[in-house]
Amino acid sequence: MSRRLAATFAAATATAALATAPAANAATLDYVALGDSYSAASGVLPADPAASPLCLRSSRNYPHLIAAETGAHLTDVTCGAAETRHFTTAQYPGVPPQVDALDAGTDVVTMTIGGNDSGVFISAILACGSAGVLTLGQGSPCRDIYGSSFEDTVRTKTYPALVGALRAVRDRAPDADVAILGYPWILPATGGCFDKMPVAAGDVPYLRSLQTTLNDAVERAAEATGVTYVDLSEASEGHDACQAPDVRWIEPVLQGGNPVVVHPNARGEAAMAAAAMDALNLG
């Protein structure tokens, strides 16, 4: 081989190596997962051996699925029953504030949070379920008892708490891509399924309105803090707790397969992972 030909071959080889180097040597994403039981996939087996037993965290939650798909380095501090205040204060002994997991090198952050604040959302569903049992599924006893109180609490307390929590995340991880997921539909728009979700027929749209208000608060808080909102309202339509076992993303109070009722199953967690990855352009 002549010197000129050898030099040309070497240059071409070097150029090809450079073209493939970014993919081969790309830095692994530093991914931190925050949030409550919808992020932790409480009740979905198997449990995450790295988590405090108090957090009821699954190794099949959507953060683990995202990390497996993208090859990201995952720090998962999701914890069942977490409220926004647990981003900056310890939730349990040995379970530090969630934002402690963040730093300036964090690349990606995901979460669901806000549903446990002030006892709304899950507590409202349980309260309405109790009221529904007393009327054998007739009327709207929960709406008659509580009126606008749940939604008023979301607007006046949960929303500002969400803004504060997201600002705390931004302060700790200023360069990260941050996403907060909305909550997938728990009930259909009308009708319901008293055998699985013992909520009176008239209270089904009442609870659906409450969830709409909560997701609206999450979305507005995301907009106020420059965070990506992952809207699950369209994707989760028709996958509520009233649907067949092979269709639903949320397990019902009765006849369900998750010991932690009214929470996502493995199918729901996979759907949440896909939605978050799409919103953040991951994978």
Q: What does the block give as tokens for 84?
A: 């926004």
The residue among 83, 63, 113 whose CA lies nearest residue 217 is 113
List of residues 6+ apart from 217 with CB closer than 8 A? 114, 154, 155, 158, 159, 162
Which one is catalytic: 64, 86, 239, 263? 263
The C-alpha atoms of residue 166 and residue 225 are separated, in whole angstroms, by 7
Which one is catalytic: 37, 42, 58, 140? 37
Q: Is position 59 annotated as part of the catalytic site?
A: no
DSSP label of 134 = H
Amino acid found at 249: W
Q: Is position 118 annotated as part of the catalytic site?
A: no
List of residues 6+ apart from 16 with CB closer than 8 A? none
Give the residue numbers marked as catalytic.
Answer: 37, 263
